[in-house]
Amino acid sequence: MTIPIILDCDPGHDDAIALLLALASPEVELLGVTTVHGNQTLDKTTENALRVLELVGRSDVPVARGADRPLVRDLHVAAHVHGESGLDGPELPMATAQPVDQPAIDFIADRIRPGTVLVAVGPLTNVALYLEAHGTANVERIVLMGGAIAEGNMTPAAEFNIWADPEAAQRVFRCGRPVTMIGLDVTHKALLTPEWADRFRAAGRVGTFVAELVEFFKLYHARTYGWDGAPVHDAVALAQVFRPSL
């Protein structure tokens, strides 16, 4: 029995890998994608989602634009990590599809059905606004990439997705539905190393795209942490949906 999911994301290198994992995993049914500000502006994260879907021949997957800024605070993007496009590094085809003509929160309301898992791998603005407008009916649980039990990556304690919109995060954590937080203490142990990148590259065109994502994404982590590899933060959160033993 497949698990219905809606992926709320801000592509982003690791978001792109999470999206590919969702498409490739028979355990989940991807009902749609919503985009949010975060790793780059909303225009760029939306375009990136559409272009990744174009690359793999899945432009049929609907994409809805969400919030272009946090609930209260000023917008901050992570160009220092993901580059000016949000997906610097690999070449991507131009998207032939357009976002649906519907805001993300209404799109979720139309697509969601009993048992749906909301997988949120960017700032939690869209999820907070959806819960405020439509409540928790049909939301089985929320799995999010964000937070840190120990060291953050924006301040000594704060991780980017939560730091970018803490007011939204507070609403989500208090929503009354089960929330699974996949934080940096977990994802910083899940490195895609050059050896793994070579294995992906040998697998063909999509694998080469993943390897090229890692080549760029690891530059920040080499400078900041001295790592020879890049954490696949958002893919870990996606995988937890159907492999909770992780």
Whole-number average pLDDT of the chain: 96
Whether the pLDDT of residue 12 is over 80: the answer is yes
Specify which residues 178 forms β-bridges with.
none
Number of C-beta neighbours around residue 219 at 10 A: 15
Report whether 56 contacts 23 (CB < 8 A). yes
Q: Provide the token pair at 28.
A: 């989940």
Domains defined for the chain, CATH in brackets:
3-242 (3.90.245.10)
pLDDT of residue 2: 97
Phi and psi, residue 180, nearest 5°: -105, 120
Q: Would you put residue 135 in left (φ > 0), alpha (ψ -120 to 50) or beta?
A: left
Q: Provide the token pair at 11.
A: 């592509």
pLDDT of residue 153: 80
Identify the active-site residue in 13, 188, 221, 233. Answer: 233
Mean predicted confidence (pLDDT) in 235-242:
98
Ranking 23-27, 36-40, 151-155, 201-205 by mean pLDDT, the lowest is: 151-155
Q: Using pLDDT thresholds of 50, 70 and 90, give the confidence band for residue 156.
A: confident
> Sign of the CA dihedral 78, 105, 239, 186?
positive
Q: Using pLDDT thresholds of 50, 70 and 90, give the confidence band for residue 10.
A: very high
Q: What is the DSSP letter of 39?
A: S
Report whether 167 contacts 70 (CB < 8 A). yes
Whether the pLDDT of residue 192 is over 80: the answer is yes
Q: How far is CA 78 from the centre of its chain?
A: 13
Model confidence over 71-121: pLDDT tens digits?
A: 999 999 999 999 999 999 999 999 999 999 999 999 999 999 999 999 999
Whether the pLDDT of residue 56 is over 80: the answer is yes
**Residue 82 designated active-site:** no
pLDDT of residue 76: 96
Whether the pLDDT of residue 152 is over 90: the answer is no
